[in-house]
Amino acid sequence: MSTPHATERSSTPPGADGSSDGSSPTSLASGRLGTWDIVFFVVSAAAPLTVILSGAVTSFRMGGIGAPGAILFCAVVLIFFALGFTAMSKSVRNAGAFYAYVSRGLGKPFGIGVSSVTVFAYISLVVSFYGFIGFFAQFTFAELFGLDLPWGVWSLLAVGIVAFLGYRKVDVGAKVLAVLLTLEVAILLVFAVAALADGGPEPWSLASFDPANVFFAPAAGTLFVIGFGAYLGFESTAIYAEEAKRPERTIPRATIIAIAFLGVFYAFTFWILTVAFGVDGVVEMARSDAFETMVIEGTGQLAGAWAAFVMKILIVTSFFACVLSFHNACTRYLFSLGREGLLPRVLGRTGKKSGAPAVASLSLSAFSAIGVLIAILVGADPFLGLALWTYATGVQGLVFAQAVTAIAVVWYFVKDRRGHSVWRVTIAPILGAIGLLTGFVLIITNFEVVTGLEGAINWILLLPTPILFIGGIIVGLVLKASKPTYYAGLTETVTVPAEERAG
């Protein structure tokens, strides 16, 4: 983050003029999203189908039979974090969620630091998913329909569609995601029912949930690298607080529902793979040359060719749902930081009719298109180059931001629990922070698993996180010393009524 746009703030911060209907050009349209709208945003960001087809297989391949237990354990850690995280939503409401939460908990310099990391991580992930879309769309449509177009065409087409939806009212995107997510879950349930009906090659086993296989197996650390990555985007519930109906209730509900659903669904579907292939067979298959298509082929054998056909198409739509969710989340961070003046203020303007962060959305789409075009021009591989490298960078940055936010939540409630129980705002967040910090350490020590690279390039991809975090802290300290009035108004652009805080 830089300071050229951090001009001295007036006594009335932008967007704090009492306008709540989106009429202010710096206010998001309020009251548009219900609990389930936000759940669809979050679960779509996690992309359940792609997690099963790639994450589950990689978990069994790298870490062994304990993959279902590990993915469930990660959900428990995140629920611990979410209990305190959502408790703050009654008194902190801002589209730049981590930025606002960390600013209130640890101080504004740390908030600026973590916002720098978060924005970079989100942008990295958005660009990454466009690479994945291009890769999978190219071979899927060529194989199924004979439509053989370069991957870049599919990626840029996706950028255009996301740009259109991102400029529209936020509930339009929620409806699209609801349809796509329902189809993803449905096809995975078809596979699960078919596997259970078939019975599998051997008796069913719960060995996947044995702690010895989850925590103490060789390379067990890789299970948690993939496990925490499978829940990316869950924190974005708080980003939509300004646009939610009754956010003091909607945000906590949506967060817990999303994590709980993903945790149970992932664990069940991962376990179904042990039913379909056998406890030993699933690991052997995941370590064979046929690992990339094992789930699709298994679906075809158990449920019929039609199911495999549908699943191949839904891989592409799953990544599209994922990129749309992350695009929406990232634009709201850009909007929030633009409204604050930490980024160009034009990013903090909304569309007059849609109430959406229009300028931020179009800017991110333009940046994404440029990223894809550069990859095309330099001849980068859409999967091994563009997608994996930016994905790895985004994952470790976002988990780091989550860990810092967990610490901020604990510190925020140290002096005043604000009517909440010790369990919700102290014990659970501490356990969540420990789990997230452990997850971050596992990610950076097993980083080559995510990137598929060896050597110094991995450390180069890790560098942006500490550089941006420390740089953001320095910017905050400089603002505090040089522009105290402006600094004092940071994170105050959205106020929460006293009766809601009292809850």
pLDDT for residue 423: 94
Which candidate, 429, 448, 466, 315, places its Cα nearest to that of 84? 429
Q: Examine residue 24 and state whether it is found in any structural domain, yes or no.
A: no
Identify whether the C-beta of residue 283 lies closer than 8 Å to the C-beta of residue 63.
no
Identify whether the C-beta of residue 193 lies closer than 8 Å to the C-beta of residue 39.
no
Q: Examine residue 172 and state whether it is found in any structural domain, yes or no.
A: yes
Tokens for 240, please give them.
């939509």
Kindly report the CATH number assigned to the domain that includes residue 136.
1.20.1740.10
Rounded to whole angstroms, the Cα distance separating 18 from 133 reads 41
pLDDT for residue 494: 52
**pLDDT band at residue 242 using 50, 70 and 90 as cut-offs:** confident
Which tens digits make up the pLDDT trace of 134-172? 999 999 999 999 999 999 999 999 999 999 988 776 566
pLDDT for residue 28: 61
Identify whether the C-beta of residue 95 lies closer than 8 Å to the C-beta of residue 436.
no
pLDDT for residue 368: 97
CA-based R_g, the chain, Å:
22
Q: Examine residue 11 and state whether it is found in any structural domain, yes or no.
A: no
Angle value at C-alpha 237, between 66 and 177, nearest 5 degrees: 80
Average confidence (pLDDT) over 477-492: 90
Q: Considering only 92-96, 481-485, 488-492, which range has the smallest mean pLDDT?
A: 92-96
Please count the structural domains in the chain: 1
Backbone angles phi, psi at 244, to 5 degrees: -90, 155
Angle value at C-alpha 326, between 137 and 54, nearest 5 degrees: 50
**pLDDT band at residue 60 using 50, 70 and 90 as cut-offs:** very high
Rounded to whole angstroms, the Cα distance separating 30 from 492 reads 17
**pLDDT band at residue 240 using 50, 70 and 90 as cut-offs:** confident
Q: Is the pLDDT of residue 125 over 90?
A: yes
pLDDT for residue 33: 82
**pLDDT band at residue 503 using 50, 70 and 90 as cut-offs:** very low
**pLDDT band at residue 19 using 50, 70 and 90 as cut-offs:** very low
Higher-pLDDT residue of 302, 44: 302
pLDDT for residue 499: 45
For residue 365, the enclosing domain spans 35-502
Tokens for 413, please give them.
């409630």
Which tens digits make up the pLDDT trace of 316-335? 999 998 998 899 889 988 98
Rounded to whole angstroms, the Cα distance separating 162 from 218 reads 41
Which candidate, 334, 260, 281, places its Cα nearest to that of 42? 260
Q: Is the pLDDT of residue 430 over 50?
A: yes
Q: Is the pLDDT of residue 37 over 90?
A: no
Average confidence (pLDDT) over 344-359: 81
Give 124's contacts (C-beta < 8 A, 6+ positions apart). Answer: 390, 391, 393, 394, 397
**Mean pLDDT of the residues in the chain:** 86
Q: How would you classify residue 350: left for phi > 0, otherwise alpha for psi between -120 and 50, otherwise beta?
A: beta
Q: Examine residue 112 and state whether it is found in any structural domain, yes or no.
A: yes
This prediction's pTM: 0.86
The fraction of the chain above a pLDDT of 90, given in percent, is 58
Which tens digits make up the pLDDT trace of 192-201? 999 999 998 9
Rounded to whole angstroms, the Cα distance separating 490 from 479 reads 10
Rounded to whole angstroms, the Cα distance separating 212 from 253 reads 33
DSSP 424-475: IIIIHHHHHHHHHHHHHHHHHHTHHHHH---STHHHHHHTHHHHHHHHHHHH
pLDDT for residue 95: 60
pLDDT for residue 147: 95
Rounded to whole angstroms, the Cα distance separating 63 from 215 reads 10
Q: Considering only 5-14, 29-38, 221-230, 483-492, which range has the smallest mean pLDDT?
A: 5-14
Q: Is the pLDDT of residue 98 over 70?
A: yes
The fraction of the chain above a pLDDT of 70, given in percent, is 89
Q: Is the dihedral of CA 229, 62, 320, 116 positive or negative?
A: positive
